[in-house]
Structure 1
């Protein structure tokens, strides 16, 4: 006898669809970020690859300097993926793991995670919209400097 009452009660509940608004990084801006990162690293004397992914880690733009090693392609892409996925600077993540070895499992969460310096999240109006990764300079801090310069130049 309770089942018909429950069904009647459930039938009277109205369901409203909710939407989510978000900012996305367009392809033109992703290409500008890649170009700015390459330009900065070339100015500093480094041959690198620069990658930009969307907030979900999907590649939007990538370019490799003619003299950058082939390994830099995956390095840059994975650093960009990691920073977008985790919403953190990859060098900060590496430092956190060094300070707290219990966090080392983060490295194994996903095959595209690469916790080395050179990846930075990109935020617009405090919303995570993308990640940028640079690979190929002789140190993660130098990769990161190129990523920072690209963000500063393009997203002023």
Structure 2
């Protein structure tokens, strides 16, 4: 019987020790980090109507110069909103215009500017979906990028870019 009591004393002592440690830890637990109080964020979006007009006007701008192009307009996340393609535009122009628009929306910059910095940062060309060629331009409204336009098919990416930026200026009145 003496052994049973001795063993129980050990167990009881161990339980009391664990309880005391737990109580001490509970009293010294740091305050949890407060997270942001809002669970949502509001952002400006480019309307489908504006995106469609920009795409169509960019194709028409290049057509006036004698070039058959495709124009793609994406939202701020790079998701396609509108596409316009000249009847005689090459099949490669669809992917090129999307790649330029996606790159511009993602980087929030003209793709011609990104291309200028490619030598210093060649890894940019390896980002999935990026096409680092002139012809993509961000669409800004109220100081925020709400989308981008990409144009492909003119002999020069700078001509593609001009067709797109002129369309944005005309539609958004900038």
Q: Deviations over 1:39-65 (max 9, x none)?
A: 111111110000001111111111111
CA distance in 2, matches of 1:93, 1:75: 15
- Counting only pairs closer than 5 Å after superposition, residues 125-144 of structure 1 correspond to structure 2 as 125-144=142-161
- Stretches of structure 1 that go unaligned for 5 or more consecutive residues are none
Shifted more, 70-79 versus 17-26: the winner is: 17-26
* 1:109 to partner: Cα distance: 1.8
2:107 to 47, 63, 86: 86
Q: How many pairs align?
A: 150
2:83 to 40, 49, 62: 62
Q: Whose relative contact order is higher, 1 or 2, with alpha carbons under 8 Å and at least 6 apart?
A: 1
TM-score w.r.t. the length of structure 2 is 0.80
TM-score w.r.t. the length of structure 1 is 0.89
Secondary structure in 2 matching 1:102: coil
Q: Deviations over 1:94-122 (max 9, x none)?
A: 1122xxx2301111022x10010100011
1:34 to 47, 55, 59: 55
Give the alignment's Cα RMSD to 1 decimal. Answer: 1.8
CA distance in 2, matches of 1:62, 1:69: 14
Q: Deviations over 1:11-50 (max 9, x none)?
A: xx79733432211001111101011101111111110000
